[in-house]
Structure 1
């Protein structure tokens, strides 16, 4: 397992602004000795996944392009998210839903309901005006300024809040990477939402855990961690660049 983590760590080193790296840069990024990194990189070069350039830097090979072409063309966010949503719902015994933005509304595009008789009920296809609620805040927090500005004007008028206070809320959401709401949209209902990143680093979807406030507030810290872990898993499969938490232990030469 450690070997797989290290290989993935090397691949994750590369980015749009770092498409070629020296051996030392790779070693620094995966936090391993240079000698250990060299053995990993050398194996990946022999296997055809890395290319050593004339300047002795390394880059990903076109082999990844071939593999990318094999990805099922119809694989969408629902197919990727559904198993992880079901697992999260089963674990926390609460409703888990998937949302996106359509105009000035957020739209539920999939939901896994809990078996609890006292539960939050969300319906696929349901349109809810952006504004209150953790899902709305997460989706708005990552909108381009040009798209967000007219929405804020409308929401400020409806909620009687200032644009400055709304922007401050969204900045906090971006900073911590999630949003929590208690009774903002429906009295007695709480939600924890987090963004899903796509291959371009953009946020067009978010995952929400919804349930009675009396239960969610009692487990807010643990539920938040589980939601963040779930969106990390979905984002990875959706092509998003997520910080890899590798258990990389330094080895002595």
Structure 2
């Protein structure tokens, strides 16, 4: 169960954080009772905190009286240096990549053993894309995720290999096969997927480097790769090099 114990000595801030901590990937919309249970707080306390958080914009009440995380939390999260810095620097290069490909383009970073999408421009082709700005997806079955996984520390790769959940019938779920693919990605400098996350969607992704360190990935999502693969890879690499040149030498 999420949250804290709601002990008498707990600060107001700790209780408010417990309310927000009640939400996670599997619990995106909660009733007031569910929030109280998951945060381990009395109902009157939960009611007061939820009301204040709703007024501030951290929570939003839906018509079905369930609460979801509010937009203001996302706005606040964008102020985190690694996200805001890369996102702002990459924006014109994402526009250039979109103009060159007319495809859906992504900017993403690794968040532990998941890929976090920082920005997205939707392409003209009708392609089923499940990613959203601010969403997290598995590393092993997305183009940007594979790039980030290929350059991740060993412990992250081991963690990812332990949970190769099949998202479609094309998802690679054999650790040995994926490990060989990650080695190839490091050698060739790009990753591809073919309907591994969503049927009808393929992708090409490349690393964004600060010096020798991979700090992000750029991806292009298209209905099919075919003969367009070299063109997509080249366009993505040009954009990624542009972003990398603009990044400060040290983390902001």
TM > 0.5: yes
Counting only pairs closer than 5 Å after superposition, residues 99-110 of structure 1 correspond to structure 2 as 99-110=108-119
Contact 1:94 1:119 in 2 (8 A): no
Q: Secondary structure at the match of 2:163?
A: helix
Match of 2:144 in 1: 135
Q: How far apart are the structure 2 equivalents of 1:134 and 1:173?
A: 10
Return the alpha-carbon distance in structure 2 between the equivalents of residues 233 and 147 of structure 1: 27
Deviation at 1:118, TM superposition (A): 1.7
Query: Is residue 198 from structure 1 mapped to residue 206 from structure 2 by the alignment?
Result: no
Deviation at 1:125, TM superposition (A): 0.8
In structure 2, the partner of 1:189 is 201
Q: Which blocks of at least 5 consecutive residues in structure 2 are unaligned?
A: 1-80
Verify the 8 A CA contact 1:89 1:96 in the aligned structure 2.
Answer: yes
Q: TM-score, normalised by structure 2?
A: 0.59
Equivalent runs, 1:32-181 vs 2, <5 Å: 76-114=85-123, 116=124, 118-121=126-129, 122-155=131-164, 161-181=173-193
Is 1:235 aligned with 2:244? Answer: yes
Task: Report the CA distance shift for 1:156/1:197 in structure 2 as closer, same or farther (over 3 A).
Answer: same
C-alpha distance in structure 2 between counterparts of 1:117 and 1:166, whole Å = 29
User: How much is the aligned-residue C-alpha RMSD, in angstroms?
Assistant: 2.5
Alignment CA distance shift 1:118-1:157 (3 Å): closer
- Equivalent residue, structure 1, for 2:230: 221
- Tell me, which stretches of 5 or more residues in structure 1 are unaligned? 1-72, 241-253
- Residues 102-121 of structure 1 show CA distances to partners (whole Å, capped at 9, x for unaligned) of 2322111111122x252454
- Contact 1:140/1:148, CA 8 A, preserved across alignment: yes
Any idea what the Cα deviations from partners look like across 1:42-66, whole Å, max 9, x if unmatched? xxxxxxxxxxxxxxxxxxxxxxxxx
Pair 172,82 (structure 1): closer, same or farther in 2 beyond 3 Å:
same
TM-score calculated relative to the size of structure 1:
0.59
Question: Do the aligned partners of 2:108 and 2:118 also contact (CA within 8 Å) in 1?
Answer: yes
Preserved CA contact (<8 Å) 2:109 2:117: yes
Q: Retained in 1: the 8 A contact 2:105–2:122?
A: yes
- Counterpart of 1:249 in structure 2 is none
